Amino acid sequence: MIEDKNPVRTELSALGEFGLIKHIAKHIKLGNPSSIKGIGDDAAVMQYDSGKQTVVSTDLLIEGVHFDLTYCPLKHLGYKAVSVNLSDIYAMNASPKQILVSIAISNRFSLEAIEELYAGMLLACENHKVDLVGGDTSSSRIGMVISITAIGEADKDEIVYRSGAKPGNLLCVSGDLGSAYLGLQLLEREKKIFTENPQIQPDMDGNDYLLERQLKPEARKDVIEQLKEQGVKPTSMIDVSDGLASEILHLCTESKTGCKLYENKIPIDDTALQKAREFNMNGTLCAMNGGEDYELLFTIDIKDHDKIKKCRDVTVIGHITDKSEGTNLVLTGTEMLTPITAQGWDALLSKK
Ligand code: ADP
Ligand code: MG
């Protein structure tokens, strides 16, 4: 197990719950003016400008359901746990400022292991200028549980909801899609080989990008900043956590619209396409249903088309239509329309 790799092992029982919290708190400094009181009292205290609105989001991560410690290093897990929370705040077009971290752990973890977890979380906090202001600690008999709550702010008229898309709007997505899912497939395959024959060492060469997309996703702060620089306020927005198909359907349902998404416009990295072929999967389906990309999917008014062309790493993939036209994918080559469905994971196993 990864947590036993560390040569030094300090038992958590040597510190106790309060000792552990004190130890964690030692590494934490507050940076944002809105963070008044962090770890150390019954509650954290924050002060936001009266002109702003507060945005709050929470996520729960359970070992064996959301992460697997056989191949996910604790530092990466910490980084990812924070990133996925901040991604929700950015998806509201808001700026994250604080997080609270609650963990449930067993004595299987050493102090050094928990330090690794927090090192990853604090690195993500540093990159996004977010303060860790509190949390809760409990013991667990079923594996590790991590719950993170992120708090941010935005001007009232800056907040972007899922519900604002209008027919004629352009549908845009940041980065590329499907890579995180293929990274997971790769890790699962190597885990299976290793479990069956521990003599065989995992072969991960040349797969850095896919593994990084799975293990260390980045919340797209840069995209939100670019949109602001260009003076573009999306009409609707969502982050891609469950796959493009599911997120587009959320936007269209909430906005009471339809959409036309072009298969040949969906950004998929070359290494992802190659890996999909190797796994006998369809690249488009990996992007549509894979999930965990943590990219931003948003719609813009057509008048902002020229401005969006100036944003790095943003692709126009289709447009919003009237609800009566349905939610469709335009297939490459045939130009045929196929209704978008949020499929289960099994659908990825069959090639088109
Ligand atoms: P209470 O008994 O009121 O829940 P705790 O002893 O759990 O208080 O918490 C004391 C302080 O330590 C609080 O500021 C709390 O937010 C913080 N804290 C507790 N656990 C964690 C953790 N895992 N990570 C960060 N801060 C924590
Ligand atoms: Mg507590």
- Same domain? 135 vs 254: no
Closest ligand 1 atom to the C-alpha of 38? 14
* DSSP tag of 221: H
Closest ligand, as measured to the CA of 100: 1
Provide the pLDDT for residue 344. Answer: 54
Q: Which atom of ligand 1 is nearest to the CA of 40?
A: 14
Nearest Cα neighbor of 179 from 297, 290, 99 is 290
Q: Which ligand is nearest to the CA of 12?
A: 1
Q: Which residues contact 193 (CB under 8 A, 6 or more apart)?
A: 200, 202
Give yes or no: residues 75 and 95 share one domain: yes
Whether residue 347 is predicted with pLDDT greater than 60 in this model: the reply is no
Nearest alpha carbon, ligand 1 atom 18: 135
Of the residues 138, 158, 178, which one is the last residue of a structural domain?
158
**Residue nearest atom 3 of ligand 1, based on CA coordinates:** 42
Residue 227: how many CB atoms within 10 A of its CB?
26
Contact 257, 146 (CB under 8 A): no
Give mean pLDDT, residues 33-58: 96
Torsion of CA 276, 280, 286, 292, to 10 degrees: -70
Tokens 């990295």 -> residue = 269
Residue 3 in domain? no
Confidence bin at 196 (pLDDT 50/70/90): confident
- Cα-to-centroid distance, 146 and ligand 2 (Å): 14
Distance (angstroms) between ligand 2 centre and the Cα of 138 equals: 8
- 17, pLDDT greater than 50: yes
Q: What is the 3-state secondary structure (H, E, C) of 1-60?
A: CHHHCCCCCCEHHHCHHHHHHHHHHHCCCCCCCCEEECECECCCEECCCCCEEEEEEEEE
> Given pLDDT bands bounded at 50, 70 and 90, which one contains residue 284?
very high
In a domain, 300, yes or no: yes
pLDDT band at 342 (very low <50, low <70, confident <90, very high): confident
Q: What is the CATH number of the domain that holds 293?
A: 3.90.650.10
Rounded mean pLDDT, 274-286: 95
Please indicate, yes or no, whether residues 103 and 123 belong to a single structural domain of this protein: yes
Contact 283/272 with Cβ under 8 angstroms? yes
122's torsion region: left (phi>0), alpha (psi -120 to 50) or beta? alpha
Q: Verify that 296 and 176 share a domain, yes or no.
A: yes
> Over the stretch 299-323, which tens digit does the pLDDT of each residue have?
999 999 999 999 999 999 999 999 9
Any bridge partners for residue 53, and if so which?
A: 154
Expressed in angstroms and rounded, the spacing between residue 86 Cα and the centre of ligand 1 is: 21
CA 136–ligand 1 middle distance (angstroms): 5
Looking at 124, 158, 192, the residue that finishes a domain is 158
For 137-150, what is the mean pLDDT? 95
Instruction: Ligand 1: list residues with CB < 6 Å.
Output: 21, 24, 39-42, 101, 103, 134-137
- The alpha carbon of 6 and the centre of ligand 1 are apart by a number of angstroms equal to 26
Same domain, 78 and 39: yes
Q: Maximum CA pair distance of the chain?
A: 66
The boundaries of the domain holding residue 222 are 170-339
Smallest Cα–Cα separation from 246: which of 346, 347, 342?
342
Q: Is residue 64 part of a domain?
A: yes
Distance 10 CA to ligand 2 centre (A): 22
* Per-residue model confidence (pLDDT) at position 335: 82
Q: What is the pLDDT of residue 7?
A: 72
Looking at the structure, do residues 93 and 149 belong to the same domain, yes or no?
Answer: yes
Shared domain check, 176 and 118: no
27 alpha carbon, closest ligand:
1
Instruction: Kindly give the distance from the C-alpha atom of residue 82 to the centroid of ligand 2, in angstroms, as a whole number.
Output: 20
Burial (0-12, 13-18, 19+ Cβ within 10 Å), 33: exposed
Closest listed ligand to the CA of 17: 1
Taking alpha carbons only, the member of 171, 318, 325, 308 closest to residue 235 is 171
Do 73 and 110 fall into the same domain? yes
Would you state the pLDDT for residue 282? 95
- 67 alpha-carbon distance from chain centroid: 13
What is the share, in percent, of the chain residues with pLDDT greater than 70? 96
116 phi, psi to nearest 5 deg: -60, -45
- 114 and 258 both lie in a single domain: no
Residue 351 resides in a domain: no
How many domains does the chain divide into? 2
Looking at residue 19, its pLDDT comes to 93
pLDDT at 352 over 70: no
Contact 319, 262 (CB under 8 A): no
The bound ligand whose nearest atom lies closest to the alpha carbon of 18 is 1
pLDDT band at 5 (very low <50, low <70, confident <90, very high): low
The residue to mutate among 12, 15, 21, 146, having the most atoms of ligand 1 within 8 angstroms of its beta carbon, is: 21
Residue 82 lies in a domain: yes
Answer yes or no: do 232 and 260 share one domain. yes
CB contact at 8 A, 74 and 117: yes
Residue finishing a domain among 123, 158, 193: 158
Q: Is residue 165 part of a domain?
A: no
Q: What is the pLDDT of residue 102?
A: 98
> Tokens standing for 255?
């906005």
* Same structural domain, 147 and 184: no
Residue 6 has pLDDT above 70, yes or no: no
**pTM, to two decimals:** 0.93
pLDDT band at 193 (very low <50, low <70, confident <90, very high): confident
138 & 234 share domain: no
Extended beta strands in the chain, E state: 35-37, 45-46, 52-62, 95-105, 131-139, 145-155, 170-174, 236-240, 258-262, 295-300, 314-321, 327-330, 337-339
Nearest CA to ligand 1 atom 8: 42
> Which atom of ligand 1 has the smallest separation from the CA of 118?
24
Ligand 1 atom at minimal distance to the Cα of residue 134: 16
> What is the Å distance from ligand 2's center to 137 Cα?
6
What per-residue confidence (pLDDT) applies to 301? Answer: 98
Share above pLDDT 90 across residues of the chain, in percent, rounded to a whole number: 86
pLDDT of residue 351: 43
More confident residue, 190 or 297: 297
Is 144 a domain residue?
A: yes
Residue 127: the pLDDT is 98
Q: Is residue 1 part of a domain?
A: no
CATH code of residue 68: 3.30.1330.10
